[in-house]
Amino acid sequence: MSGKSAAVELSGTSRITAFPLEGHTVAYTSQSSDSRGLGDIAVIGVTDPAGTGETLWRLAQEFCRARDLPDDHARWIITQAFRVRMTGSYEPPGRWAATISRRYELPGLFSNHDVLLTGVIKLHRPTVT
């Protein structure tokens, strides 16, 4: 099933990539659908607690006009996160919690992901003493 769904809470400790995107801070990590640890699920969200994952879909509609299809919008969102990670933006594994507002199943594997989860991600930074 693709599209909007009831909010789901997730949390984990994994590599996080945080980056600015059109006035928002976005965080990207991945999860695995099974024990193989392939990272086939992209978890991408804005970090503003008052924000919403729909912000990412609105940006995709605005900037991905080649075709106005949800599959293209999902790929655009993943591309923004994946390109930042590939160009050297890196943070060590960290704890995070996410409120996922949309699950989107891609029609095929894209950048090693076949599922996109969007929402709000809270990064838990260690306290420096």
For the chain, how many residues are written?
129
Nearest to 18 by CA among 38, 43, 47: 47
Residue 37: predicted pLDDT = 80
Sequence-separated (6 or more) residues with CB below 8 Å from residue 7 = 99, 100, 101, 119
Work out the average pLDDT over 45-51: 92
- In the predicted structure, residue 1 carries a pLDDT above the cut 50: no
Task: Tell me the average pLDDT across 17-46.
Answer: 91
Read off the pTM: 0.87
Give the number of other CB atoms < 10 A from CB of residue 119. Answer: 23
pLDDT at 96 over 60: yes
